[in-house]
Copies of this chain bind each other. A is one copy, B any other.
Amino acid sequence: MSTAATTTASKSERAYQLLHERIGNGQLVPGYRLVLSSIADELGCSVVPVREAIRRLEAEGLVTFERNVGATVASIDATLYLHTMQTLSIVEGAATGLAAHLITDEDLRRARELNNQLRECLENFEPVRFTRLNNEFHAILYGRCPNPHILDLVHRGWNRLNAMRASSFDLVPGRARESVAEHEGLLELLDAKASPHQIEMAARAHRTGTLNAYMAQRNQPPSLL
């Protein structure tokens, strides 16, 4: 009763959110060992809720878990990054396509503004801000997708990517400029009320483009697709 919130989100929920956030913003780097008792101590609770939180994170692919050994923040090798990006290209593309006919003029206005700010980031070399604004930009484009499952998959994909990027993966040098231009193309398609399928494929290609740029940078064959 009383004031605002006895909102004691359950301890397991708090543990989940704490770890999720720390993985997302890079405080916990891939490979870091997550010891139940330590986390429990820090949170001032017992290990049971922490266990549950970690299993949830595992289900989302943010941590890996080994029996009788423990959990570590999910490590990334190139193929994992590739697979995650590819999956995201598909589900985010689909979400954007499904959202297209529900998007409002106000949405488009905000997206356009964000893309302008992205262009500024290019001039001033602000990679952190760029990443954040880029997330927001795409969130607007797919946000109206009426299928919550697909939205969930998109969010999970972004979370995994953020976990990776925050650690060591950085933007591919030349790619950002190209990215802003492709954003512009997407906005024009939306303005022109292009078909959902066309928009889906453009959104997918946008992400695939980033993936290819990354692969080229690492001198890897663009196959494995």
Q: Which of B59, B94, B146 contacts A90 (CB 8 A)?
A: B94
Within 8 Å of chain B (Cβ to Cβ): is A48? yes
Number of contacting residues on A, CB 8 A? 26
Find out whether the CB atom of B147 lies under 8 angstroms from the CB atom of A87: yes
- Rounded to whole Å, the gap between the CB of A38 and the closest CB of chain B is 20
Give this chain's copy count: 2
Given contacts A48-B48, A51-B52, A52-B51, contact A150 B90 (CB under 8 A): yes
B-contact bits for A78-120, CB 8 A (1 contact / 0 none): 0000011011001100100010000000000000000000000
Q: How far is the CA of A55 from the CA of B49 in the complex (A)?
A: 12
Q: How far is the CA of A61 from the CA of B150 in the complex (A)?
A: 13
B-contact bits for A43-56, CB 8 A (1 contact / 0 none): 00000100110011
Within 8 Å of chain B (Cβ to Cβ): is A133? no
Within 8 Å of chain B (Cβ to Cβ): is A60? yes
- Rounded to whole Å, the gap between the CB of A32 and the closest CB of chain B is 22
Q: How far is the CA of A10 from the CA of B55 in the complex (A)?
A: 14
Find out whether the CB atom of B56 lies under 8 angstroms from the CB atom of A87: no
Within 8 Å of chain B (Cβ to Cβ): is A218? no
- Rounded to whole Å, the gap between the CB of A15 and the closest CB of chain B is 13
Within 8 Å of chain B (Cβ to Cβ): is A31? no
Find out whether the CB atom of B150 lies under 8 angstroms from the CB atom of A86: yes
7 contacts between A and B (CB under 8 A): A48-B48, A52-B52, A59-B60, A86-B150, A90-B91, A91-B153, A146-B224
